[in-house]
Structure 1
Amino acid sequence: MKGVILAGGSGTRLRPMTHVVNKHVIPIYDKPMIYYPVETLVESEIDEILVISNSEHIGKYIQLLERDFDADFSYKVQTEAKGIADAVQLAKGFVDDSFAVVLGDNILFDDLSDEIQSFPTSDADAKIFVKEVDRPAAYGVASTADGEVTEIREKPDSPESNLAVIGLYVYTTEVFDRIESLEPSERGEYEISDINNQYAVEGTLDYEMISSEWFDAGTPEGVFQASKHVRDDHRDKE
């Protein structure tokens, strides 16, 4: 299995910090943000990783990542921020079977190797990961019934559950055909939730609950809370 890290975007929620730097190199306590999704993949026995970012920052990742990780990195440029699904499509040609996608601003601490490497199964063609949160309206929200995802709604005003869909997904190469036929949303982006809802309707979308801490580090509060968690964890181990 191969891995894909999406490290593009304009980082609007973190401005002014991201006016001149890519948000994924902002420190989470003692390491650049992007180190955490790389560790999620490497700890899941994935050592072939594609990093997708914008042209002005991709060179820095080549300098940064290959000095600290025993993995085979590849790189692709996303020339225009047109949504997560559009970025995933850039992995076509890099992957040849199942692959994991993680957003570069998602900070995870679970060992997810079993959950990732067990994919695909006979009844699932895609897998998402969810986390119970206090403010689900800030995220994509998964509704479930009888152990299956029935629908995912993006930032709903009245969430039907507290299950936030975090930025970790597992697919097979079949997903590329779905993305090619996808229509852009009202905001002009190709939404990964639209793809995941296709699988949900077909009954082929699996999901896993995240039990440990998870942080969306795409906001100043997320960066702070993630850094605090890492600092406190380091202190507990001293």
Structure 2
Amino acid sequence: MKIIVPMAGVGSRLRPHTLTTPKPLTLIAGKPIVQRLVEDITKVVKEDVEEIAFIIGPATKGFKEETKENLIKIAESLGAKGHVFVQETALGTAHAINCAKDVLDGPCVVAFADTLFKAEFTLDTEADGAIWVKQVEDPSAFGVVKLKDGIITDFVEKPKEFVTDLAIIGIYYFKDGAKLQAELQHLIDNNIMDRGEFQLTDALENMKQQGMKFVPGKVDEWMDCGKKDPTVDTNTKILGFAHKDGEKLIADSVVLENATIIEPCFIGENVVLKNAIVGPNVSLGENSVVENATIKNSLIQKNVEISNANLDNAMIGNHAKYNGNFTSVSIGDYTELI
């Protein structure tokens, strides 16, 4: 099994946090979003993952070489060989996936790296393909699928009138990656575009018309990491799952001086808490110091200094310094509010 992760977007909706860190490498409960994504995929497919390919954009190349190294390490942590490809021009989902054409063969999962999920279903690897879906209240904002006898019959993009409430969450399984690659290449070679881009849904439709059968994979939770508030909410949900699963979330090196941690929380290595109450639902990255503060329901990255603060629903980037009485903030890397 292979996993293909297109992550070439610039993450503009999550700025300023994505100005110095690619969005998929933003830490959620102590792990990068993309790492949690591929870990959860391996639980569903229940097969050994041999290779993981990440497709980054040209803007991502401007980040430190550390970005590529981190992605390779994520693949290796799952016992897989890692690859990093570059989508030089933003030409759509089909074009992005096709950038990994050198490894597109055999069974594979394609997963866009701006969403997380929890699921209990077992992947039907005998089907030609599977599309992860979630029942939603307002399907008009999503691409959706129609079913008949458990088989997907139609793909509908943002329906104005109700046709189904099963939204596509951006994760797909293909039994034959080479067949997928051939369909993607067909779109590109014949300049078949929609709204100026090559779309994966066009390739899916072509494959369906050729008799290939796709089944749904219904997930229990679908968590967005697009904007600040949904990302903080996703952090809360992931902390809850991780705590329930017995994941070690609080480092042994944490120093408490007249401080209290209200679980669930992730507290990284070498964090110092002085005269502070942290939690519930807080992720606090390594080498951070919190003094004279109360923090809850917040996502805070590494090497942060927080003092004299009362924070709720906050997202704070790496190397930030915050001293104040604001309660809902979103400040990026190397920002100082003193």
Instruction: Identify if the C-alpha distance between structure 1 residues 18 and 229 changes in structure 2 by more than 3 Å, giving closer, same or farther.
Output: same
Q: Distance in 2 between matches of 1:49 and 1:237?
A: 25
Structure 2 equivalent of residue 25 of structure 1 = 25
Structure 2 residue identity aligned to 1:224: V
1:124-139 mapped onto 2 (5 Å cutoff): 124-139=127-142
1:1-238 mapped onto 2 (5 Å cutoff): 1-43=1-43, 44=45, 45-57=48-60, 59-67=65-73, 69=77, 70-110=79-119, 114-115=122-123, 118-119=124-125, 121=126, 124-171=127-174, 172=176, 173-182=178-187, 183-186=192-195, 188-236=196-244
Gap regions ≥5 residues in structure 1: none
Residue 85 (structure 1) shift: 0.8
Deviations 1:208-230 (CA, angstroms, capped at 9, x unpaired): 23242121322334312211101
Q: Is the 8 A contact 1:2 1:46 kept in 2?
A: yes
Residue 4 (structure 1) shift: 0.8
Q: Distance in 1 between matches of 2:72 and 2:243?
A: 28
Residue 29 (structure 1) shift: 3.0
The percent identity for this pair of structures is 26
Q: Distance in 2 between matches of 1:95 and 1:149?
A: 23
Count of residue correspondences? 231
TM-score (norm 2): 0.62
Q: Distance in 2 between matches of 1:233 and 1:40?
A: 12
Residue 131 (structure 1) shift: 1.1
Root-mean-square deviation (CA, aligned residues, Å) is 2.3
Instruction: Identify if the C-alpha distance between structure 1 residues 56 and 11 changes in structure 2 by more than 3 Å, giving closer, same or farther.
Output: closer
Gap regions ≥5 residues in structure 2: 247-338
Q: Tell me whether 195-204 or 33-42 shows the greater mean CA deviation.
A: 195-204
More strand by share: 2
Q: Distance in 2 between matches of 1:216 and 1:207?
A: 23
Q: Distance in 2 between matches of 1:4 and 1:106?
A: 14
Instruction: Identify if the C-alpha distance between structure 1 residues 38 and 61 changes in structure 2 by more than 3 Å, giving closer, same or farther.
Output: farther
Residue 127 (structure 1) shift: 2.3
Structure number with greater CO (CA < 8 Å, separation at least 6) is 1
Residue 64 (structure 1) shift: 1.6
Helix, strand or coil at the partner of 1:24: helix
Deviations 1:131-182 (CA, angstroms, capped at 9, x unpaired): 1112222221111223222211222222311101111112221122222222
Q: Is the 8 A contact 1:47 1:72 kept in 2?
A: yes
Structure with bigger gyration radius: 2
TM-score (norm 1): 0.85
Q: Is the 8 A contact 1:102 1:169 kept in 2?
A: yes
Instruction: Identify if the C-alpha distance between structure 1 residues 67 and 74 changes in structure 2 by more than 3 Å, giving closer, same or farther.
Output: closer
